[in-house]
Structure 1
Amino acid sequence: MRRLLILTAGLTLLATSACSTPPPPRADAPPATPPGPVTLPAPTGPHPVGTTVLHLTDTSRPDPWNPDADTRELKVTLWYPTGQRDGQRAPYMTAGEAKLLLKDSGLSTTPYDTLSDTRTNAVRDAVPAGGRFPLVVLSPGFTKPASTLTSLAEDLASRGYVVAGIDHTYESYATTLSDGRVVECLACDSDTDPGFRAGLVQGRAADVSFVLDRLTTTWKHSRLIDRGKIAMAGQSIGGAAAVATMVKDPRVRAGIDMDGTTYARIPKDGLSRPFMFLGSKDHVPGGLDTSWDRDWKLLTGWKRWLVLSDAEHQSFTDIPMLADVLGLEPLPGMLPAARGAELTRTYVAAFLDQHLKSRRQPLLDKPSPRHPEATFCPATCARP
């Protein structure tokens, strides 16, 4: 079911049960006020964060979803270290994007500014800091915009990474093109076709390779990027795309799949570059999704398989932090939104610091008493 914010194992629409009658309000109780705009958690690294948006067009191939487009246009949001602390904060998304996103998510009565007024921490079009930094590509889940990974992106940029979030056009409920049009999800019309997801991740791999070509050569700040230190992380189908990209493009030196069933097949001789699975309980060995069991055997280099207790599919994104203003609430026992964001940031940054910056991270060697939610698999994971 194509619902952005009705989460698989965690978030439900606020509603009064038909089987119970709520108590009458107290006469002296103040009227309820809607929650104010959400402010994303502050980045934890030493650098202020800048951000900018690029619209890139790949003229070498037609768009896979729009038969009327003989080129592939992508929106890429970049986050990067800057020395600039003051300035206009970048919008989380535009009102036009929020309108389509909420409509197609089944939340059309929610005011658009509920999402578009979400407060970020990055300074819009700030001057980049000097130096060269590793590059991390982020790919969102199917129907989701890259903005749903903003908290993670800002944190990585503050720690000294250039981060590129890709909006895979026509695969999200809302993507803004270079001419200002906001286009919808054409791929959603095909998502029940045989082989759809396998083809989807291959298309995303092509998107990533094209973006790498452009960012490392023609982008005006390409000097920021250390071309020998590139990684990719994604959530859901974006995590599956990290596998597909690494199989096709050797420039991606390390990868992370955040709770994504994998569809790209790893060659029989294996994938020797560092890789980490970071997921929810559905991804324990022998669990509901067995694709990680299959691929674990083919990861022949450094690898980790971590499961966060009480996490659900969207715990690795911003969505739980937006639940309150969207009229959604977590089910009892679900990992709190702030803690989910903290754990995601911590383990993703540790992986990248170890494999792109050669800084050994003991956190990745064994369970941590400070992070008891993280279980190391497959040896210590409980099977269902």
Structure 2
Amino acid sequence: MRHLLAAAAGLAVLAASACSAPAPPRSAATPSAAPTGPATLPAPTGPHPVGSTTLYLKDTSRPDPWNLDADARELKVTLWYPTQQRNGQRAPYMTPKESELLLKGSRIATAPYDTLSKTRTNAVEGAEPAGEKLPLVVLSPGFTKPVSTLTSLAEDLASRGYVVAGIDHTYESYATTFPDGRIAECLACDSNSDPGFGAGLVQGRATDVSFVLDQLPSKWDGTDRIDRARIAMVGQSIGGASAMATMVNDSRVRAGIDMDGTTYARIPKNGLSRPFMFLGSARHVPGGPAPTWDRDWKLLTGWKRWIVLTGAEHQSFTDTPLLADALGIKSLPGVLPAARAAELTRTYVAAFLDQHLKARRQPLLDKPSAHYPEAKFCPASCAPA
């Protein structure tokens, strides 16, 4: 979705498909009394301190699909990982200019435009990686959003013993800044009503992911910490749809999670046998208004789960609700509170990854839990729309 604060802000297009790119709302978000000051992301729940660094990669084998003047595809990749270093400068959430472009693009005018750049993270910038042969999780964000809007999840996974590689898909978000000061804005936003846009977008992202997996061994000095036999991908919205597209195309990705994204890539008729989990809002109940999960469920032939969170909506799986107070935006009645949405997302994503990348059986994934009554297991225990 194009809007940063749908869940917390009550923007008008929340009912639109959880896929890619409807036009942004024309009105600003509903203001509350006043912004509360900088947002602070919740502390990670794992035993390890978290470090973070950024890589800039250039794929000279292909032109950029959105910028016709660029003969190579440039990508920004943010890494989160376990470290032993607890003190140090915290990694930035985004730059003031990125915050400005994101809020302007999302029609958010309830706080100063640099507000999101003041968000307080938990990762120590440039810290030395710790641990050996850790699983790798690739993160892909929703359309128009930077991967920083998945920071709370990324930091939590790193604290639990994962290396996390978050990809900013250039020209598909409102702003991506490169080291020479260039800011790549959302050129793909001009094409989002074209026929086949979603299908083309997820295939492009799948190519981005495969390129990043190719490059990591030589581009990061902590790459010896990565166990390349244990790779998964997690994405939100079009990023979740891209997780499925990547798994269809690249067998190195052993498991995947789609968080509330309508899918586009078609699973082969013989099925997809690697583990996959749908984690979504009520729009994705069986027979609901976003029917692609019904179609794909039948073709998932390996371990699979389909979980819908009561009270969740499209942005509940991102940092969005955690940022609402800082922007002076009201929550909607009946929507999962920000802290609970983050807890549920972190808990179920980590359980899936622990089971399939660390071989640690997770009873939480076997049936509904009294501790998390919001989680409905489909298709058996969630009612059709």
Task: Normalising by structure 1, report the TM-score.
Answer: 0.93
Q: Which amino acid aligns with 1:249?
A: D
- Check conservation: 1:243, 1:262, Cα contact below 8 A: yes
Match of residue 155 from structure 1: 156
Q: Which amino acid aligns with 1:243?
A: M
Match of residue 193 from structure 1: 194
Using the alignment, how far apart are the partners of 1:111 and 1:331 within structure 2?
22
- The structural deviation recorded for 1:105 is 1.3
Using the alignment, how far apart are the partners of 2:260 and 2:110 within structure 1?
30
Distance 1:355 1:6, change over 3 A: closer
3-state DSSP class of the match of 2:305? strand
- Check conservation: 1:11, 1:330, Cα contact below 8 A: no
Q: Deviations over 1:325-372 (max 9, x none)?
A: 223212111110110000000000000000000000000000000000
Q: Which amino acid aligns with 2:30?
A: L
Match of residue 384 from structure 2: 383
Match of residue 325 from structure 1: 326
Question: Which of 112-121 and 46-55 deviates more?
Answer: 112-121
Match of residue 30 from structure 2: 14
3-state DSSP class of the match of 2:316? coil
- The structural deviation recorded for 1:181 is 1.5
Match of residue 256 from structure 2: 255
Match of residue 174 from structure 1: 175
Q: Deviations over 1:68-113 (max 9, x none)?
A: 0000000000000000000000111111111111111112563133
The reply to whether residue 224 of structure 1 matches residue 225 of structure 2 is: yes
Alignment of 1:1-384 (within 5 A): 2-7=2-7, 10=10, 13-14=29-30, 34-108=35-109, 110-384=111-385
- The structural deviation recorded for 1:221 is 1.6
Distance 1:111 1:248, change over 3 A: same
Task: Normalising by structure 2, report the TM-score.
Answer: 0.93
- The structural deviation recorded for 1:156 is 0.1
Q: Deviations over 1:9-33 (max 9, x none)?
A: 94572259xxxxxxxxxxxxxxx76
Q: Which amino acid aligns with 2:269?
A: K
Question: Which of 128-137 and 299-308 deviates more?
Answer: 128-137
Q: Deviations over 1:148-195 (max 9, x none)?
A: 000000000000000001000000001112312122100000000000
Using the alignment, how far apart are the partners of 2:76 and 2:264 within structure 1?
24
Q: Which amino acid aligns with 1:172?
A: S
- The structural deviation recorded for 1:67 is 0.1
Instruction: Choose between structure 1 and 2 for higher RCO, CA contacts under 8 A separated by at least 6 residues.
Output: 2
3-state DSSP class of the match of 1:315? helix
3-state DSSP class of the match of 1:334? coil
Identity of aligned residues (%): 76
- The structure carrying a bigger helix percent of its residues is 2
Using the alignment, how far apart are the partners of 2:219 and 2:318 within structure 1?
30
- Check conservation: 1:81, 1:129, Cα contact below 8 A: yes
Structure 1: tracts of 5 or more residues without a match: 17-31
Give aligned pairs, total: 369
Using the alignment, how far apart are the partners of 1:167 and 1:253 within structure 2?
21
Structure 2: tracts of 5 or more residues without a match: 13-28
- Check conservation: 1:273, 1:302, Cα contact below 8 A: yes
Distance 1:186 1:343, change over 3 A: same
- Check conservation: 1:98, 1:113, Cα contact below 8 A: yes
Using the alignment, how far apart are the partners of 1:188 and 1:272 within structure 2?
34
| Structure label with greater radius of gyration | 1
Distance 1:136 1:2, change over 3 A: closer
Using the alignment, how far apart are the partners of 1:112 and 1:92 within structure 2?
14
3-state DSSP class of the match of 2:57? strand
- Check conservation: 1:10, 1:331, Cα contact below 8 A: yes
Q: Deviations over 1:36-74 (max 9, x none)?
A: 211100000000000001110001000000000000000
Distance 1:33 1:239, change over 3 A: closer
Question: Which of 270-279 and 98-107 deviates more?
Answer: 98-107
Runs of 4+ in 1 over 3 A off after TM superposition: 6-12
